């Protein structure tokens, strides 16, 4: 069974699918060890870890593909929904992105309708014209046939073009064959319900990390609203940043480790030192 087929089957099971957001081998390994079968390779998390900055469309196709390889190598059994952003160019770039992610073993890929290159401001999300957005998703669906990777179509047009346009785009994405739908920045529960209805029974995706301008539903509330997939882009990243800051503060104060630091034995266990010795034992030369 291909990763895409495995994901499709998993999404047919009852209940909300919760995907931690990951960005590298360690975050993917920890998510898998915690029992999560799926993960979201988040562009915002990759931007934070690689660039030390915000997600403002500065991460490249090559950097995301490399991050996907790290995640897959560290957690090969995890079904990964990988952020493909705007496809890194026109419809032909979209095809390359989708094909590359599929060959690398991603189960699904996100493609959005934002305009690129973006305006030189952190505010707002200008989007492509309706028909150009259609062509990008059409190109993605065509490229996905090679590997069976699922396509998640995202519209960012709600803040700039309104909910009616956003719902129309979700309907269009369904017509083109998108497997998963994502309305970014819904204003309220009524808009969420409209978007879920427009998906016509196909899975709808939600970001549930705090920080949005509206109240964020709990997992129970998200399921009741009709969402099928939920992710938390800051769920691991924010405490990881806090932990690094705490560690730096401890060292700056003359200490050796923060109070929250793992014991040395646990640290080695998490990273897999003992597992390495077990795997290497058959190849050790004996005198």
Residue span(s) of the chain under CATH 3.20.20.60 come to 3-234
Contact (CB, 8 A) for 81 and 108: yes
Q: Buried b vs exposed e over 115-138: b needs ≥16 C-beta within 10 Å?
A: beeeeeeeeebebbeeeebbebbb
Instruction: Please tell me whether the overall predicted TM-score, pTM, comes out greater than 0.85 for this model.
Output: yes
Confidence of residue 266 (pLDDT cuts 50, 70, 90): very high
The average pLDDT across 158-169 equals 96
pLDDT of residue 98: 98
Query: Which sign does the torsion angle of CA 138, 140, 143, 147 carry?
Result: negative
pLDDT band at 212 (very low <50, low <70, confident <90, very high): confident
Sheet bearing 229-232, strands edge to edge: 180-183, 150-155, 108-112, 79-83, 38-41, 17-22, 229-232, 205-207
Residue for token pair 């160019």: 89
Check: CB of residue 47 under 8 Å from CB of residue 59: yes
Q: Which CATH number fits domain 3-234: 3.40.50.300, 3.20.20.60, 1.10.10.60, 3.90.1150.10?
A: 3.20.20.60
Per-residue pLDDT, 286: 87
Q: What percent helix, strand, coil does the chain show, rounded to 5?
A: 50, 15, 40
pLDDT tens digits, residue range 45-104? Answer: 999 999 999 999 999 999 999 999 999 999 999 999 999 999 999 999 999 999 999 999
pLDDT one-digit tens code per residue, 150-162:
999 999 999 999 9
């Amino acid at each position: 069974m291909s990763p895409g087929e495995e994901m499709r089957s998993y999404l047919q099971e009852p209940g909300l699918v919760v995907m931690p957001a990951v960005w590298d081998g360690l975050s993917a390994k920890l998510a898998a060890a915690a029992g999560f079968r799926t993960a979201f390779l988040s562009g915002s998390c990759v931007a934070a870890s690689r660039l030390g900055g915000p997600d403002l469309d500065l991460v490249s196709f090559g950097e995301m593909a490399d991050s996907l390889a790290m995640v897959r190598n560290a957690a090969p059994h995890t079904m990964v929904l990988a952020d493909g952003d705007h496809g890194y160019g026109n419809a032909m770039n979209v095809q390359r992105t989708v094909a590359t992610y599929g060959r690398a073993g991603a189960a699904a890929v996100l493609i959005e309708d934002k305009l690129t290159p973006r305006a030189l401001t952190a505010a707002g999300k200008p989007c492509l014209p309706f028909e150009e957005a259609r062509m990008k998703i059409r190109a993605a669906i065509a490229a996905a046939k090679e590997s069976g990777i699922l396509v998640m179509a995202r519209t960012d047009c709600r803040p700039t073009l309104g909910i009616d346009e956003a719902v129309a785009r979700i309907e269009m994405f369904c017509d083109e064959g998108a497997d998963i739908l994502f309305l970014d920045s819904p204003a309220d529960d009524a808009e969420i319900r409209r978007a879920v209805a427009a998906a016509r029974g196909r899975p709808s995706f939600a970001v549930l990390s705090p920080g949005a301008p509206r109240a964020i539903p709990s997992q129970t509330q998200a399921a009741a609203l009709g969402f099928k997939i939920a992710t938390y882009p800051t769920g691991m990243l924010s405490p990881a940043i806090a932990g690094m800051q705490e560690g730096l503060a401890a060292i700056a104060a003359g200490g050796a480790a923060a109070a929250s630091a793992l014991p040395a034995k646990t640290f080695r266990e998490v990273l897999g030192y003992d597992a390495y010795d077990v795997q290497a034992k058959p190849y050790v030369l004996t005198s």
